[in-house]
Amino acid sequence: MTHLFDLTGKVALVTGATHGLGMAMAKALAKAGATLVINGNTPAKMETALQQYAADGIDAKGYLFDVTNEELAIENIARIEQEVGPIAILVNNAGMIQRTPALEMAVADFRKVLDVDLTGPFIMSKTVGKHMVARRAGKIINICSMMSELGRDTVSAYAAAKGGLKMLTKNLATEWARYNVQVNGIGPGYFATDQTAPIRVDGHPFNDFIIQRTPAGRWGDPEDLGGATIFLASKASDFVNGQILYVDGGILATIGKPSNE
Ligand code: GCO
Ligand code: CA
């Protein structure tokens, strides 16, 4: 049975994997046997990250480039394929958030979020997908969000981008399923990461709200994402196409309940 989830010999590239959920998913893939390549954008963060992987017994290879720059993406993907091997798994995790009410949001900032969270995954999928389609094998996992389905005050650009990423997933799945390339998504609920640190602090009303709003009654632990990541990266999901697997402690299953119940 377990061979279904064995990633031995597969090269996995995880973008934005120098911290947070990207790092947790990357570690899960490595522990399932994958040869790990991580992308990041900041040299200092990359150095620390590689030490953190090594401390966990993982020999990760780091490539520094901006996923929104097509030229750099093409150049670095070619280098990875040559220096490490054919990319079998691509996790489009790199992303950003800006929390500003829509009426105060500068159009330039809106465009920036769309560029990083939606155009970046398109560039990476197109560039790596070209090799995968030619090889008739590949797994692409786009990291979506609760905001792929739901709105929330202050995150108009992020929600627009993550909703778009969900549909990009379905569209690429449609175009590439016939070439044995599976494109799916993971939609994390609310996880304890640096991204949510500002809204997770004790006493912040949002902290209590999320715990109350999540049927599981807690913030997600980044390690909670490992199983879904391995599943969508492995043979076990060879006939799964265009799905978003929400790992959210039940948030999307429920309308919620009054805070005094
Ligand atoms: C927010 C949060 C979210 C989460 C996550 C939810 O401000 O609402 O930061 O955007 O990070 O994406 O799925
Ligand atoms: Ca973190």
Helix, strand, or coil (residue 244): strand
Closest atom, ligand 1, to C-alpha of 193 = 11
Q: How far is the CA of 34 from the centre of ligand 1 (A)?
A: 28
Q: How far is the CA of 113 from the centre of ligand 1 (A)?
A: 13
Which phi and psi angles does 252 have, rounded to 5°? -75, -10
Q: How far is the CA of 136 from the centre of ligand 2 (A)?
A: 36
The structure tokens 């769309």 sit at: 114
- Where the chain has pLDDT below 50, the residues are none
Tell me which amino acid residue 81 is. E
Instruction: Give, for 141, the enclosing helix (H) or strand (E).
Output: strand 138-143
ipTM of the complex: 0.87
C-alpha of 121 from chain center: 9
Q: Residue 229: its pLDDT value, please?
A: 98
The catalytic residue positions are: 158
Answer yes or no: is the C-beta of 146 below 6 A from any ligand 1 atom.
yes
The mean pLDDT value of the chain amounts to: 97
Gyration radius (Cα) of the chain, Å: 18
Partners of residue 246 on adjacent β-strands: 187
Answer yes or no: is the C-beta of 195 below 6 A from any ligand 1 atom.
yes
Closest atom, ligand 1, to C-alpha of 162 = 12
Instruction: Look at residues 1, 54, 2 and name the one whose alpha carbon lies nearest to residue 26.
Output: 54
Q: Residue 204: its pLDDT value, please?
A: 87
The structure tokens 């800006």 sit at: 98
Give residues with Cβ within 8 angstroms of 204, minimum separation 6.
none
